[in-house]
Structure 1
């Protein structure tokens, strides 16, 4: 798109410069024209020229243990604390349908919703939904049950993808030391994105990533992986040590961010990162624009720790056996 805009600007008929002759009255003064040239805005360059090379790997290649894809994924996690997984199998229609009862449940579960400028947030977890189900105002509501079931289904699929990715991380750790993580309940945040022009009195706080606030930092410390997926094309804003930057994302892609648990698990090999999806929906869009952020701590990461510890124990036993054999052979030769 950026290249198309540049091409359009270059091929359009530019205004002819005025004559530099001082007596020319048909054109504005030449000096004025030169001054305006100094203020021409810069061309919109392709995003790829301004952002780090974050890996985008196919889910099927991860499942098939493709070495090149795994290397790209892990290298991106080491350098930036983030990578993308495409072709995950959750369709945009399924994502959109999961929110069909969201507006209804907003009224019943208003205490779990909050507004941040042009975005509304709903905190979801299995325990929270179980508590809500016992409430008299939602207990017998069929739409609440449909909403809960759809969100459970989405959460289960995202957790399955997170487990596959975490298993790859664990299986490719070699004999490097790993630290066990604490298992925490999966938490999912649902975002409803509104057009900013329709919310003139409630702007986002400095338009900076929500990841800057203390709550999100605590979340990063409590979880190993963050999965981010929108229902339509949007922008992912990443906060990194090198400063904030953004890139385009879409429903076919899950953006993975490393939490502080993953950084501690790997003793700093993987970098933790924080970010969020931002969508500016069309004013005429009746369906609404949504995104999901799921944070989890796959216990499969701890299996890699147990595996490494068992390998270390085996190595110790083998060492003791070898020493015993050498000692017996040595004493036999001396006798």
Structure 2
């Protein structure tokens, strides 16, 4: 009986097929038009958020200041796995970045010995002590342009150091009782890069694009500092320099790219991974103004406070342990007397 009912339903209710319009008959065929309208309403396929999201964490600076646990965890995971993360909304405007380089062209000629060319970009090494030495020169001391350049660079370095300190404080305070090793506090150093369009330059490979650079000065710099902060004056591409993997992503003036130096890797006993990277910018050929980027290397002393804190906790725990043992010993001695 059940089989007969199924056969009856199949014969009485055949599967509905989409209408097959004849040429020039679509306008006079409402069923076909209805079928096409249904196809238009098929929902789009959306990829999960995890597949669209970059593996490199991008954390808002205000959330770091607010100590947002979720944002800090993403930053932490990115630093552990890749040795790099991004901090957006840092408060240094693109206009301020560009203004900081208004006197750069003048100083390029005045302090030519501090500039060097590397592929399609020029580099200028800056530090506070180097500027003090440069100021002693007779042709620099009375230069208004140099003084403006020095003030703007010093102000920019101060702001980047403050952001690095906040990030270091978060790292130091969220490690629990993990063992930490003190770092050497080194003078902040900043490198200014002037980028040129590669089509306007002779084909000269950049030194950092060769494997030797990973064992050369770049590696020594990574060992000397805790963090490197990278900021461009316009949109560019950040590329990690690693023998193990190739990874690049877009960045912009509102974002600071943090890379972990070997000091932090040693400070954390290998919990964080050190890495190196650089910003590449291809300026518009028609643009008169140069495209610049900054790499600031620093070693925030606040990282050592986490070491002191853990050591003081350890001493306190030892004192408490000794006190407990003494109390138990006296108690047993009293009971046995």
TM range (shorter): 0.7 to 0.9
* Equivalence for 1:277: 279
Question: How many pairs were matched up?
Answer: 288
Tell me how far apart the structure 2 counterparts of residues 266 and 174 of structure 1 sit (CA, whole Å): 12
Compute the TM-score of the two structures, normalised by the length of structure 1. 0.83
What secondary structure is seen at the aligned counterpart in 1 of 2:95?
Answer: helix
Q: Is the 8 A contact 1:211 1:275 kept in 2?
A: no
Instruction: Map 1:166-245 onto structure 2 (within 5 A).
Output: 166-205=168-207, 207=209, 212=214, 214-240=216-242, 242-245=244-247
Structure number with bigger Rg: 2
RMSD, aligned CA: 1.8
Q: Is the 8 A contact 1:225 1:295 kept in 2?
A: yes
What secondary structure is seen at the aligned counterpart in 2 of 1:285?
Answer: coil
* Equivalence for 1:113: 115
Q: 1:152/1:108 Cα in 2 relative to 1: closer, same or farther (>3 Å)?
A: same
Structure 1 position 230, deviation (Å): 0.2
Q: Could you report, residue by residue, the CA deviation over 1:213-261 in whole angstroms, capped at 9, with x for unpaired residues?
A: 6001000000000000000000001023531221100000000000000
Q: Is the 8 A contact 2:265 2:273 kept in 1?
A: yes
What secondary structure is seen at the aligned counterpart in 1 of 2:246?
Answer: strand
* Equivalence for 1:134: 136
Moved more, 51-60 or 130-139: 51-60
What secondary structure is seen at the aligned counterpart in 2 of 1:160?
Answer: helix
Tell me how far apart the structure 1 counterparts of residues 301 and 191 of structure 2 sit (CA, whole Å): 21
* Equivalence for 2:324: 322
Structure 1 position 200, deviation (Å): 2.3
Q: Is the 8 A contact 2:161 2:298 kept in 1?
A: yes
Q: Could you report, residue by residue, the CA deviation over 1:41-72 in whole angstroms, capped at 9, with x for unpaired residues?
A: xxxxxxx9799611000000000000001111
Tell me how far apart the structure 2 counterparts of residues 118 and 137 of structure 1 sit (CA, whole Å): 29
Tell me how far apart the structure 2 counterparts of residues 49 and 292 of structure 1 sit (CA, whole Å): 31
* Equivalence for 2:19: none
What secondary structure is seen at the aligned counterpart in 2 of 1:137?
Answer: helix
Q: 1:78/1:207 Cα in 2 relative to 1: closer, same or farther (>3 Å)?
A: closer
Structure 1 position 135, deviation (Å): 0.6
Unaligned residue ranges in structure 2 (runs of 5+): 1-49
Compute the TM-score of the two structures, normalised by the length of structure 2. 0.82
